Amino acid sequence: MRKTLWLNGVALTAVALLSAAGPASATAASSMGSDSTFKVGIDIQPGVYTTTTAASICAWARLSAITDDLSAVLQSGGAINGYVKVEIKPGDIAFYTAGCGTWTLTTTTTVGTGSLGTGSSTMSS
pLDDT digits (tens, 9 = 90+) for 80-106: 667 889 999 999 999 999 988 889 999
* 15, pLDDT greater than 60: no
Dist CA 65 CA 82 (whole Å): 27
Predicted confidence band of residue 110 (pLDDT cuts 50, 70, 90): low
Nearest to 35 by CA among 63, 54, 7: 54
Which run of H or of E encompasses 116?
none
State the DSSP code for 90.
T
Average pLDDT of the segment spanning 35-44: 92
Predicted confidence band of residue 36 (pLDDT cuts 50, 70, 90): very high
Dist CA 124 CA 33 (whole Å): 27
The pTM (predicted TM-score) of the whole model is 0.66
Residue 29: the pLDDT is 59
Q: How far is CA 33 from CA 4, 24, 37, 98, in A?
A: 26, 11, 11, 10
